[in-house]
Structures are given as structure tokens and as C-alpha cells.
Amino acid sequence: MTATPSHATVLHASDLTTADIDAAEKFLKARIHKAMSNHATNSDEFRMAQAMDRSVFNLVNTVRTAFDLDDGSRSMLRAKQRHWNELCNALAPWENSEEYDTARWQPVDYLDPQHAVETAEYLRSRL
């Protein structure tokens, strides 16, 4: 389990960068390719790794598209948040592994600091 000292824990979707996506993709691809290289191409294990490889490819491209189309709107922040959180779900099985970046690969609950404040105010009003 590692923490990236130069990267604070992501609290908001607005904090996410393409470097976060790149690191997650690199981590997952290394494990997928290791699994693929350890099994015959006609084995179920190879095919499962290949299916994961395709799924990760699609998921990473979806997250990148949300970044590419980011116009600063709250709807695009929501898209980045939603797709980032899906990528974090794919990373979660490795949460206790040596190279898992606990500071970086966390689902985000809030779009930006304003959204965090608004949510806290709403929750307080419900008490």
C-alpha cells in the first residue's frame, strides 16, 4: 500500500487529473498482462484477464472522454465523478496490496468544495 506524497487525498471531482487516470490504468494493466502471460491463450484464466483488459480499456477511455469534454460545468464534474468512481471500483480488490495508492485511488463524494459545503448544510438541516 503506497501513498503518493505529492498528491493529496482526492476529496472532490474537481481535484482529479489525467495523471490519476494514467496511474490507475498502469496499475491495472500490469496486473492484467501478468495474468495473461501466466496462462495459455485457450485457458479460462487468460480469457478472464482478456475480458478485464477490454473492460479496463473501455472504462479508462470513458473517464478520459469526461476529461476531454470538460467544459467546467457541474454536469461534466458529475460525469468525471461517476466514471472515476467506477474506475476506483475496479481498483478496489487490490486495496491492501503493496503498490495500491491509497491516497490517490479513492472514490470522490463531492464535485468541488462548494458541493461539499452544500451537502453538509443540507444534512444539518435534516437533523
* DSSP, residue by residue, 56-95: HHHHHHHHHHHHHT--S-HHHHHHHHHHHHHHHHHHGGGT
Flag whether 23 is in a domain.
Answer: yes
Summarize pLDDT for 97-123 with one digit per residue, the tens.
989 999 889 999 999 888 888 888 989
Mean pLDDT (the chain) is 90
How many domains is the chain partitioned into structurally? 1
pLDDT at 66 over 80: yes
Residue 5 binned pLDDT confidence (cut-offs 50, 70, 90): very low
Print the domain residue range for 31.
13-125
Q: What is the pLDDT of residue 9?
A: 61
Global pTM value: 0.83
Flag whether 66 is in a domain.
Answer: yes
Summarize pLDDT for 17-36 with one digit per residue, the tens.
999 999 999 999 999 999 99
Flag whether 8 is in a domain.
Answer: no
Q: What is the pLDDT of residue 72?
A: 87
Flag whether 3 is in a domain.
Answer: no
Q: What is the pLDDT of residue 1?
A: 57
